[in-house]
């Protein structure tokens, strides 16, 4: 992990405080699910309810991940990226925000593991970080490829 922080030290010069996640209500899940599951003016109520549960679970997972990675220097940028990617016209899809953030966190964990291995190439990691951060899933993919 120390090696990884040395690589990241160049890119994150100032400390980053964790951004709190937006409110659950701010997602407008009812609006999202109603739009997704209305066809020719008829709401599929069972799928609407399923969608609402999925979005609620997504929010809880996102909150849990945000707490887990709260002290990481990449957390704020990764959260911002995930939120922007899955917010359209003011309606946020929390299940996909959580999925995207989890993928980024997994990439960070993979890169942290790689940084502890002998033969870790700091220059290659820095190049991948420069190209892909805050998408650490892509950084890890970039680093691992030939």
Taking only the tens of pLDDT, the chain with its 146 residues reads 444 544 554 343 333 333 578 999 999 999 999 999 999 999 999 999 999 999 999 999 999 999 999 999 999 999 999 999 999 999 999 999 999 999 999 999 999 999 999 999 999 999 999 999 999 999 999 999 96
User: How many beta carbons lie within 10 A of that of residue 130, not counting itself?
Assistant: 12
Angle CA 16–18–21, to nearest 5 = 150
Q: Identify the CA nearest to 66 among candidates 94, 86, 93, 89.
A: 94
What pLDDT is attached to residue 21? Answer: 86
Q: Are 125 and 113 in contact (CB under 8 A)?
A: no
Q: What predicted TM-score, i.e. pTM, was given to this entire model?
A: 0.84
| R_g (Cα) of the chain, nearest Å | 18
């Amino acid at each position: 992990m120390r090696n990884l922080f040395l690589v990241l030290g160049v890119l994150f010069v100032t400390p980053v405080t964790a951004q709190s996640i937006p409110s659950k209500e701010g997602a407008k899940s009812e609006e999202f699910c109603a739009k997704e599951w209305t066809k020719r003016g008829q709401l599929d109520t069972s799928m609407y309810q399923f969608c609402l549960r999925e979005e609620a679970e997504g929010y809880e997972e996102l909150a849990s991940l945000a707490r887990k990675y709260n002290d990481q220097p990449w957390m704020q940028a990764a959260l911002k990226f995930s939120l922007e990617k899955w917010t359209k016209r003011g309606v946020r899809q929390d299940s996909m925000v959580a999925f995207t953030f989890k993928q980024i966190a997994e990439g960070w964990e993979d890169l942290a593991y790689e940084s502890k291995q002998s033969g870790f190439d700091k220059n290659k990691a820095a190049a991948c970080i420069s190209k892909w951060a805050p998408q650490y899933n892509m950084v890890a993919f970039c680093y691992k490829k030939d």
